[in-house]
Structure formats: C-alpha cells, structure tokens
Amino acid sequence: MGRDAQRLAEAAGAARARGAEVETAAVPLTETAALSRCLQEFDAAHPVDLLIANAGVKTGNHGGIEPAVQAERVIAVNLTATIHAVQALLPAMHARRRGRIAIVGSLAAVAPHGDLLSYSATKAGLQAYATALRRSLAGSGVGVTTVIPGFMDTPMTDRQKGPAPMLMPPARAARIVARGLEQ
Ligand SMILES: NC(=O)c1ccc[n+]([C@@H]2O[C@H](COP(=O)([O-])OP(=O)(O)OC[C@H]3O[C@@H](n4cnc5c(N)ncnc54)[C@H](OP(=O)(O)O)[C@@H]3O)[C@@H](O)[C@H]2O)c1
C-alpha cells in the first residue's frame, strides 16, 4: 500500500519479476476509514500473516518552534494511521491465532532529537504502543516486532539537513529487517 500509484506499480513490477504475486492499493494513510476497509477486504481474501507498518513522515523545527498543525500531520501519519492499520487486522489475526505486526520506529524514540520534536514523540509513542501490544498479545499466537532503524539512505534522509552518521543503504537495512522478522 502507498499513495503514489505510479511508484506502487514500479515496486509491484520489480516484485513480480522476482516471482511474487502482488496486489497494490493506493490509499492515503490519513484516510483512516478507507485504510481500515482496504486492509480488512484484503485480509478476507488473503489472510494476512505479516503487517509491516512502515510509512512515516519527518519534519523539523528550529529552537523548539514547531507549528501545531505540522505536529498534527506527523502524529496523524506516524502514530494514528499505524494504530488504525494494526487494529484493522488484529481481530482476524487473533481469531486465527497467528500473524505478526511489525512497526517501524526510529532511534529517535530512544535518542529524541532537538530538531525533531513531534517526529521523536511519535516514534517513542510507537515504541511504547508496540511493547504494550506485545505484552497484551502474549500467548495469543500473534507476535509484535519493533524495527528501530538508524539512518538509512532514503528520500527522508536526503531532505534532512545535518549529519547522518552510519548511513545504511536501504537494501541492506531491508535485509536486516527481513532476517529479524524471519527469526
Ligand atoms: N530514513 C531514515 O534514516 C530512517 C531512520 C529511522 C526510521 N525511519 C523510518 O523508516 C520508515 C520509512 O522511512 P523512509 O526513510 O523510507 O522515508 P521516505 O523515503 O520519506 O518514505 C516514507 C514513505 O511513507 C509514505 N507516506 C508518507 N505519508 C503518507 C501518507 N499520508 N499516506 C501514505 N503513505 C505515506 C511515503 O509515500 P509518498 O512517497 O507518497 O510520500 C513514502 O513511501 C519511516 O517510518 C521512518 O520514520 C527512517
């Protein structure tokens, strides 16, 4: 799922070329009713084993000044939409007693950055949410993984000013995440 149909089609083409069966859906995550409906319809046809909640937005601030409306947008995508996606699928996963939810957080959760007020807050919120969810699902057959990346060489990092220590190519990060999920 994404919101850019053209890029989704390109990603789907690359995955099909490697032998995957692919369906795509272009849904802005902030349209939470459409997001939940889309996930539930997909799950009814293809029971979901793994949800990776990856989309996120990062915006900066200076001297602690961040317009509240900007913070609201960051919270809407990073935190609220992720919770909607998880809760759309959880009842079915719970009933099947199988499935895994992977939530992409950030090192900013544990090392909040002075120039990333709301971003750091949402990633800390996601980390606490994932930990609480893992505890509440103990013994249910449904697992929860928190992914905590450092800097990856993606458009998000391209837009950032300032240093990006230990920058990792996204393909390498993806391999590490996949290995962790398999374990
Ligand atoms: N890059 C890093 O160094 C780094 C470090 C730690 C954690 N992370 C986390 O890793 C995840 C992936 O980030 P990235 O580096 O790949 O960032 P990115 O290059 O900016 O990509 C973010 C993705 O989220 C999608 N997205 C944003 N808002 C959306 C919305 N309202 N509806 C649907 N999709 C939306 C974007 O779609 P569009 O292209 O349509 O905008 C894009 O595909 C994020 O959760 C980020 O916080 C990244």
Per-residue pLDDT of the chain (183 residues; tens, 9 = 90+): 999 999 999 999 999 999 999 999 999 999 999 999 999 999 999 999 999 999 999 999 989 999 999 999 999 999 999 999 999 999 999 999 999 999 999 999 999 999 999 999 999 999 999 999 999 999 999 999 999 999 999 999 998 878 899 999 999 999 999 999 999
pLDDT of residue 90: 98
Mutational pocket test of ligand 1: of 57, 74, 168, the residue with most ligand atoms within 8 Å of the beta carbon: 57
Query: Per DSSP, what are the bridge partners of residue 18?
Result: none
In whole angstroms, how large is the CA radius of gyration of the chain?
Answer: 17
pLDDT of residue 124: 98
Mutational pocket test of ligand 1: of 86, 152, 161, 177, the residue with most ligand atoms within 8 Å of the beta carbon: 152
Q: Whose CA is nearest to atom 23 of ligand 1?
A: 55
Backbone angles phi, psi at 26, to 5 degrees: -95, 105
- CATH 3.60.15.10 is right for the domain spanning 48-148: no
Q: Kindly report the pTM of this predicted structure.
A: 0.96
| Burial tier of 113 (Cβ tally within 10 Å: 0-12, 13-18, 19+) | middle
Q: Whose CA is nearest to atom 17 of ligand 1?
A: 156
Ranges of each domain in the chain: 48-148
Distance CA 101, CA 21 (A): 21
pLDDT of residue 75: 98
